[in-house]
Structure 1
Amino acid sequence: MTDGGLAGWIRAHGHSVAALDLEAPLDDLAPLAEIIGSARVVGLGESSHHVREFYQVRHRMLRFLVERCGFTVFAVEAPFTEGGLLDDWLGGGSGAVEDVAAAAIALSLGDVPELHDVLRWLRAYNQRTDGAPVRYAGADLPGSLGSPLPGIEAIAAYIEAYDPDALPTLTRARELVGRFHDPAPMKVLFGYPSADQAERDTLTAVLAELVARMQRLAHRQRARGRAAEHAVAAHHLRGAWLLDQVHRAMSAEGIEIASTFRDVYLAESMLHQLEQDSSARIVLAAHNWHLKKAPEPFGTGELFPAGYHLAAELGADYRAIGVTSRGGRTAVASGDLTGSTGFPFQEASLPPLEDAAIESAFPDSAPWTLADLRAASTVSDAERYTRMRMADYFCDQPAFDCFDAVVCVTETNGTAYTRPT
């Protein structure tokens, strides 16, 4: 316990970091190794998308985890189904990084220069390393909340080869989804309630039939040496089925409940990667909300983020690091969310610090500071910090319950993608 509470503990034991440059020496990040230990999945968060400094600090931590700790997978809050495009590129595939990232990462989150920088670094690392290359994996639902069509298309070759009797069912699923599919994911999400109810119910039944047939093949495919191929196809199909559940839940219960199906899939995608490669160690870059370990009170119940599921499955093999900021500017979704394949973001000022916000305990004497909350859990005022930044507001999110560590950036700004206010 320290007389100065958490703020005093961070001044004495937190790790101040000056460098934001991806290519800077890594010795200043040495304390990160103690925080993550032998964890197999490490979540690196952000309190809002499209914040320049969040990309920079996460990518320096990613580089440390790859070079010093042997991490082998870079997973992103982006579609699993489209992830192969970027994984191939990291292995030397053709195309400009800007085009490949935009195709693989939905909702404009691939249109970030800082992300392109780290992808170029990973590709160069893979070309020069003598060890295991770093792979890319999307973790999210097909198209990230658009229609299930990408997930359905991803299993077509598998169905044709190993369950041709299911082709009429697959064709029916394509036909039903095609009636409301659109390249703009948010147009699909918000337009789904206006689709014909009978067709929506039929699609749900058809997808459930395909899931059941896929499950029926599991042991046969393993016995024939196709376990990995089957597992990938099954995960694609489960994403399509869960996405249908998102659409149904949003229509009936609202987006908060609906989004929890997305978190189930984010967690399952990480477990899928671990099952496919028993030696894999994964860095998962996603929003703080998805990574936190504690459930979110909601109405008379709770919402369960991906981090909750990962902590339940992996225990100490999952570490969650929240990333937030003391002040400056952030990015918020704004404008027409349904009119394009992108997702409009606008720069906005951050509100002043609140006393109950974890950010208020961090100093402003360095560009960013890393604090191990597990080591600080005995400070006298730990229960005071019940709030954290979320985009341009504060939310009830007790950091000590949600994260193993927190990075706080002193001042942030929107990426080049964001529109100024």
Structure 2
Amino acid sequence: MASPLTPFLAVREAAQRLQGNASDYEPLLDMARGKDFVLLGEATHGTAEFYRMRAQITQSLVRGQGFDAVAIEGDWPDAWRVNRYVQGEGNDSAEEALSDFERFPSWMWRNREFLAFIEWLRGHNAGLAPERRVGVYGLDLYSLYRSAEAVIRYLERADPLQAEAARQHYAALDHVRDPAAYGYQAATGLRAPARDGAIRQLLQLRTDEAAYISRNGLAAMDSHYFAERNATVVVNAEAYYREMFGRRISTWNLRDAHMAQTLSSLAAYRLRRGGSGRIVVWAHNSHLGDARATESQLRGEWNLGQLVRQQAGAPALLVGFTTYTGHVCAASEWDGDPEHKAVVPALHDSWEALFHSTGLDRFFLPLGPQASHPLFEVMLERAIGVLYLPRTERASHYFDASIAGQFDALFHVDETTALEPLQPGHPVPVLDSDRPD
């Protein structure tokens, strides 16, 4: 392996120091020209700078390059309420529009930074024709029961006979409101799986789409598409929760395949309604960086970034975000309260430590196939999700990665700050990194 100094010099040569103004994003915006998908990552789910920077980049892509959708690592029905708000529909305030994000970690989207972004987006959309308004959509599949209920509510208005059929199709989901409990019972034979009924309901909605829109006009396209994607969530979420206990298929692969399927469907939908179909994605680096350049490929795992590259090829741009130290909003256990936790300085043999050693503080680094060879070396990379466990830092938060194979470009912010959740009554104490988790 080459000397550690070699990637150090490669970063020093290629990195462009951020000046704290709009010109910081011009190199990335130039790279985005002609792309259909720009995927903006994050090394943590709880860093304020990552949200602000993604918002600024997205605003420039919307205003200057005609991107007309933002897809987030959030559940489809939860994000749809935000979509209605930014489209100028309904009577929600911005904070109310975020209130459907109830599942842990609600603070991932119910925070001040995302609130400010959707307020900007609603203002941008004001006065635009419906087909030109930018939408916000969820890519995730955890909303098994909420999505089933949304399908039934839609059909109660659109086709009451089909609403009753949907209740029958989803009957195997009844009586168990915990998706994990459903998955265990279905996988172990304690109850009949809901798979077949869920698939029949999805196929029926797809069959009826043309007739329904013909009867009700193009204005019905949005509501039918919302229902059809909810029906898709039910099919894929049912498989996801069942396979949590089946151990035959990677649930990670099921989840990211669903995200890729949703993204492709969303692009086609935006084109059908008269838009550009060009989408900005906000999700964690672990979903957006190409899994083939990380240790995940050794486990047979793929991710959204890999699938988008394979399916879209050149029209996709994958952008990572990293940090060395600071504070992060995260929990210490699943379903725990959000806390502001000190981020331990990155391990010495990591990409983040290398970036810190350059002394550049904040910088943009172009990567991808044109990057110099040392940036394709394999080093540790940090990933902090909804939990942060400093006591087990190496085991819990690091993986091997070739940074130039993983991303087309990267932003590094050496010291970052924590998100501010919009959750009255939930304490967010600042914790020292050496306290027990």
TM-score by length of 1: 0.82
Q: Give 1:133 deviation, angstroms.
A: 2.9
Match of 1:133 in 2: 133
SS in 1 for 2:98: helix
Q: Give 1:157 deviation, angstroms.
A: 5.2
Q: Which residue, 213, 219, 240 being the options, matches 2:204?
A: 213
Q: Is the 8 A contact 1:166 1:210 kept in 2?
A: no
Q: Does 1:396 align with 2:400?
A: yes
Q: Does 1:413 align with 2:391?
A: no
Q: Is the 8 A contact 1:46 1:323 kept in 2?
A: yes
Q: Which residue, 86, 96, 101 being the options, matches 1:99?
A: 96
**Runs of 5+ in structure 1 lacking a partner?**
20-24, 182-187
Q: Is the 8 A contact 2:153 2:163 kept in 1?
A: no
Q: Does 1:7 align with 2:32?
A: no
Match of 1:184 in 2: none
Q: Which moved more, 1:6-15 or 1:236-245?
A: 6-15
Q: Give 1:110 deviation, angstroms.
A: 2.2
In structure 1, distance between residues paired with 2:265 and 2:145: 21
Residue deviations 1:293-322 (CA, integer Å, cap 9, x gap): 234655974111111221111111111101
SS in 1 for 2:261: helix
Q: Is the 8 A contact 1:18 1:366 kept in 2?
A: no
In structure 1, distance between residues paired with 2:128 and 2:16: 29
Q: Give 1:394 deviation, angstroms.
A: 1.8
Flag the 1:328–1:161 CA change in 2: closer, same or farther, 3 A: closer
Q: Which moved more, 1:315-324 or 1:345-354?
A: 345-354
Q: Give 1:29 deviation, angstroms.
A: 1.6
In structure 2, distance between residues paired with 1:220 and 1:12: 59
Q: Is the 8 A contact 1:173 1:203 kept in 2?
A: yes
Flag the 1:359–1:264 CA change in 2: closer, same or farther, 3 A: farther
SS in 1 for 2:291: coil
Q: Is the 8 A contact 2:285 2:320 kept in 1?
A: yes
After superposition, residues 55-204 of structure 1 pair within 5 angstroms as 55-93=51-89, 94-104=91-101, 106=103, 107-108=105-106, 109-127=108-126, 132-141=132-141, 145-146=142-143, 148-156=144-152, 159=155, 166-181=162-177, 188-192=178-182, 195=185, 197-198=188-189, 200-204=191-195
* Residue type of the alignment partner of 2:114: L
Match of 1:51 in 2: 47
In structure 2, distance between residues paired with 1:202 and 1:193: 8
Flag the 1:260–1:375 CA change in 2: closer, same or farther, 3 A: closer
SS in 1 for 2:43: coil
Q: Give 1:324 deviation, angstroms.
A: 1.0
Q: Give 1:105 deviation, angstroms.
A: 7.3
Flag the 1:16–1:300 CA change in 2: closer, same or farther, 3 A: closer
In structure 2, distance between residues paired with 1:375 and 1:300: 22
TM-score by length of 2: 0.79
Match of 2:247 in 1: 253
Match of 1:18 in 2: 19
Q: Is the 8 A contact 2:36 2:316 kept in 1?
A: yes
Q: Is the 8 A contact 2:172 2:194 kept in 1?
A: yes
Match of 1:283 in 2: 280
SS in 2 for 1:201: coil
Residue deviations 1:55-94 (CA, integer Å, cap 9, x gap): 1222222222222322221221111123221112113343
In structure 2, distance between residues paired with 1:152 and 1:189: 12
After superposition, residues 334-413 of structure 1 pair within 5 angstroms as 334-337=332-335, 344-345=338-339, 347-357=341-351, 360-361=354-355, 365=359, 368-374=362-368, 377-379=371-373, 381-391=374-384, 393-413=397-417
* Residue type of the alignment partner of 1:234: E
In structure 2, distance between residues paired with 1:359 and 1:100: 39
SS in 2 for 1:46: coil
SS in 2 for 1:409: strand
In structure 1, distance between residues paired with 2:183 and 2:29: 47
* Residue type of the alignment partner of 2:333: G
Residue deviations 1:217-236 (CA, integer Å, cap 9, x gap): 46766888879465543322
In structure 2, distance between residues paired with 1:375 and 1:306: 19
RMSD: 3.3
Percent sequence identity over aligned pairs: 21
Q: Does 1:239 align with 2:233?
A: yes
In structure 2, distance between residues paired with 1:294 and 1:200: 35
Q: Give 1:166 deviation, angstroms.
A: 4.9
Residue deviations 1:210-269 (CA, integer Å, cap 9, x gap): 234345546766888879465543322111110011111112229x92132221121122
Q: Which residue, 269, 284, 297 being the options, matches 2:262?
A: 269
**Runs of 5+ in structure 2 lacking a partner?**
385-392, 422-427, 432-437
